[in-house]
Amino acid sequence: MTSPVTWEPIATDGAARRGRLHTPHGSVETPAFMPVGTRGVVRAVDADDLTEVGAQIVLANTYHLMLRPGASQVAALGGLHRFAGWDRPILTDSGGYQIYSLEPAIDEEGAVFRSTYDGSEVRLTPEDAVAVQELLGPDIAMVLDVCVGLPAPRKVVRAAMERTLRWTERAIAVHRRADQALFGIVQGGVDPELRQESARRTADLGLPGFGIGGLSVGEEPDERDRALEAVTAELPSDKVRYVMGLGDAEGILAAIARGVDLFDCVWPTRLARHGRVLTPDGDYNLRRAEYAADPAPLDPECPCRTCRRYSRAYLRHLLMVGEMTALRLVTVHNLTYTFRLVAGARTAVEEGRFADYRAEVVERRIRRGDAER
């Protein structure tokens, strides 16, 4: 059966790739960053904000939406696109991250959680994860996987990898929705041999795209990079590759350099809610007293609505008095920064200068670092 989601290569520069991901709700220029809308909304902003700042695709979470408001209710209201007022592509995480973060009881059948909302017992199996995502109706659904925190013993990492492969086969067996693609997830920790094996065996299942899970969970950057190199060497070159949970500038560029196409993370939005501002010259804490009378925008080079209109002094004032508008305005800026970063990477790959682009971005951020300006 032809997949409703395909990836079209456009250009390469070394291992870095420039492409276009085609989905039932439109195309996504890659490399691309997906803001995280766990409960069907990216915190502090709405669909119009996301469109304005350049979001092409968003991520939502199976576990949370199946609990509140419930997948059947979302389906009855027209599916997640209509429910959330977002007519562009959506990818849903399967709940695998919650297996890592909420530490449920896990057996071969699935995972048993306590609801984060009312404490009731919730069972999630690979088949359940598929059924919920078919009701939600995203363009891309993910298989349920087992993610372990790092460092971890090799036998623990292998067991999680093997179980993820078995769960992937079960997910494939029950997935029926023709207008939705099901992606596999590569595990294996930071062990290159396990990563290669997981990537090879997952690729052999013939899925239309691949998540790379089990990273950003305690490993060092060089460990992550070696794991990515092992994975991308084994995955098909004509299918999209997605690193799950990676969102910092240096990490995104390192992954693009190794042939990755998609990213998601709460990084830019979570930092915004804490008053942390992303800029090409490093990140800074807007709550610091030195910004109380600063008339400059958050970033003089940024074209976002926030930077065009408001000063650091005003935005700091809003943060310090607890005004919710501050969260929205800083989130708009941080997302704009992230989307401009990946847009620059796309252009650089097309022009054959990605290595120089990456070096310039990293050097400029290191020069000012995370120093509080």
Neighbours of 14 (CB within 10 A): 12
Bond prior to 153 in cis (omega within 30° of 0): no
**What is the rounded CA–CA span in Å between residue 102 and residue 122?**
12
Contacts of 273 (CB under 8 A, 6+ apart): 43, 44, 327, 330, 331
**What is the rounded CA–CA span in Å between residue 229 and residue 338?**
23
**What is the rounded CA–CA span in Å between residue 157 and residue 160?**
5
Backbone dihedral region for residue 298 (phi beyond 0: left; psi -120 to 50: alpha; all else: beta) = alpha
Instruction: State the catalytic residues.
Output: 93, 264
Contacts of 362 (CB under 8 A, 6+ apart): 249, 250, 253
Tell me the β-bridge partners of 20. 8, 29
